[in-house]
């Protein structure tokens, strides 16, 4: 089995690569960068290529993967607001190139990493896949647009896809940057004995999901969920204040907090209904926020 992971040197992508190497698959990585920590598994094949470059289509055709996991994207919400065209080039055009490559090389399926951000500021306690989408950032808009291209490519050309809308993913190897990486940001500041910064009042909530559960959902989507969109989440809501309290309990030390103004484009509340994934993907998260956070700290903390 030949696997291609776009963004395979990134946080989630690198976990996915290691999983499939463990399953003895032939794994190819398509990434613009050589990796922030320079670690590329020796048994994986690395291709340095920008997915926004039309030449990426020919590269994927040459690789001819059985399955393509499309994770490469510009994912910084604030950067997307400052430079909307960057999202359009990387996220929308990059996705079109990958879809075109799948059409031409008859890939069995493309599994697309989307985001809970496509729902925007819905005034609803728990959000399901049938709820309306209304992005409030260019990043989320680029993901929603990419989803629509997936749907159209299946309708017109028969390209098989599964869309996975992630909650807030965290785990070992995540870089401490951006609101989406708040767990990594908190952990990095703790290691430097710095204050924890909370943007806004800290009452904003997220559905945090551990990266290994994201990997297992991607693996499940290979054989199930064709033409479907799934929320991949725990179905549990955690506020940023509650997250800080969990850090205090696990670390066993008082942690000072400092509050800063909120960021434009940030969603106030997000909790995803995962029952469709449980039923149709036969997938279930193995970690809750506490067990995932404990494992993240254990595998990241340096004394």
**Same CATH topology for 2-169+208-234+274-281 and 170-205+236-271+285-300?**
no
Residues 65, 4: contact at Cβ < 8 Å? Answer: yes
* Residue spans per domain, the chain: 2-169+208-234+274-281, 170-205+236-271+285-300
Nearest-CA neighbor of 111 among 230, 287, 260, 241?
Answer: 230
Query: What are the angstrom distances between the C-alpha of 148 and each of 41, 47, 85, 223, 231?
Result: 34, 27, 18, 21, 16
- Nearest residue to 270 (alpha-carbon basis) of 178, 96, 140: 140
- Residue of 139, 153, 170, 287 with catalytic role: 139
User: Which pLDDT score, from 0 to 100, does residue 164 have?
Assistant: 98
DSSP-derived letter for residue 117 is G
Rounded CA-CA distance 217/214 in Å is 5
Q: Please, how many CA atoms are within 13 Å of residue 266, restricted to the half-sphere of its CB?
A: 22
Of 12-26, 27-41, 90-104, the poorest mean pLDDT is in 27-41
Sign of CA dihedral 166, 177, 211, 45: positive
Q: Which residue stretches of the chain are H helix?
A: 11-22, 55-63, 77-82, 84-87, 94-105, 138-157, 182-191, 211-221, 240-251, 275-276, 289-300
Per the CB < 8 A criterion, the answer to whether 97 and 57 are in contact is yes
Question: 90: exposed, middle or buried (C-beta count within 10 Å: 0-12, 13-18, 19+)?
Answer: buried
pLDDT digits (tens, 9 = 90+) for 104-142: 998 999 999 999 989 988 878 899 999 999 998 898 999
Distance separating alpha carbons of residues 194 and 187, to the nearest angstrom: 10
- Average pLDDT value for residue range 211-234: 98
Least confident of 66-70, 124-128, 143-147, 232-236: 124-128
pLDDT number for residue 87: 81
**Whole-angstrom Cα distance, residue 140 to residue 114?**
8
Q: How many CB atoms lie within 10 A of CB 125?
A: 10
pTM above 0.85, yes or no: yes
pLDDT for residue 303:
40
Residue 139 known to be catalytic: yes
**pLDDT grade, residue 170 (50/70/90)?**
very high
Paired tokens of 290? 């506490």
> What percent of the chain is predicted at pLDDT more than 90?
61
pLDDT single digits (tens) 23-57: 999 999 999 876 554 567 889 999 999 999 999 99
Give CATH for domain 2-169+208-234+274-281: 3.40.50.720
Q: Classify domain 170-205+236-271+285-300 by CATH number.
A: 3.90.25.10
């Amino acid at each position: 089995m030949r696997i291609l992971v776009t963004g395979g040197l990134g946080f989630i992508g690198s976990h996915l690569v290691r999983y499939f190497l463990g399953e003895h698959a032939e794994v190819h990585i398509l990434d613009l960068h050589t990796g922030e920590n320079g670690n590329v598994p020796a048994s994986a094949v690395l291709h340095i290529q920008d997915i926004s470059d039309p030449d990426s289509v020919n590269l994927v055709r040459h690789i001819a993967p059985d399955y393509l996991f499309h994770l490469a994207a510009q994912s910084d919400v604030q950067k997307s607001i400052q430079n909307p065209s960057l999202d359009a080039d990387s996220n929308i055009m990059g996705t079109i190139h990958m879809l075109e490559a799948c059409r031409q090389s008859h890939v069995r399926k493309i599994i697309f990493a989307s985001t809970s951000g496509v729902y925007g500021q819905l005034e609803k306690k728990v959000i399901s896949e049938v709820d309306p989408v209304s992005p409030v950032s260019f990043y989320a808009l680029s993901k929603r647009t990419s989803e629509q291209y997936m749907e159209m490519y299946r309708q017109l050309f028969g390209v098989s896809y599964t869309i996975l809308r992630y909650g807030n993913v965290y785990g070992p190897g995540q870089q401490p940057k951006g609101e989406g990486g708040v767990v990594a940001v908190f952990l990095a500041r703790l290691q430097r004995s710095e204050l924890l910064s909370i943007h806004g009042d800290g009452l904003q909530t997220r559905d945090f999901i551990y990266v290994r559960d994201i990997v297992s959902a991607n693996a499940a989507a290979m054989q199930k969920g064709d033409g479907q969109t799934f929320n991949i989440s725990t179905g549990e809501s955690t506020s940023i204040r509650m997250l800080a309290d969990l850090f205090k309990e696990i670390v066993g030390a008082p942690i000072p907090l400092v509050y800063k103004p909120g960021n434009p484009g940030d969603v106030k509340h997000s909790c995803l209904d995962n029952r469709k994934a449980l039923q149709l993907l036969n997938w279930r998260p193995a970690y809750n926020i506490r067990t995932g956070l404990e494992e993240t700290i254990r595998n990241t903390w340096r004394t």
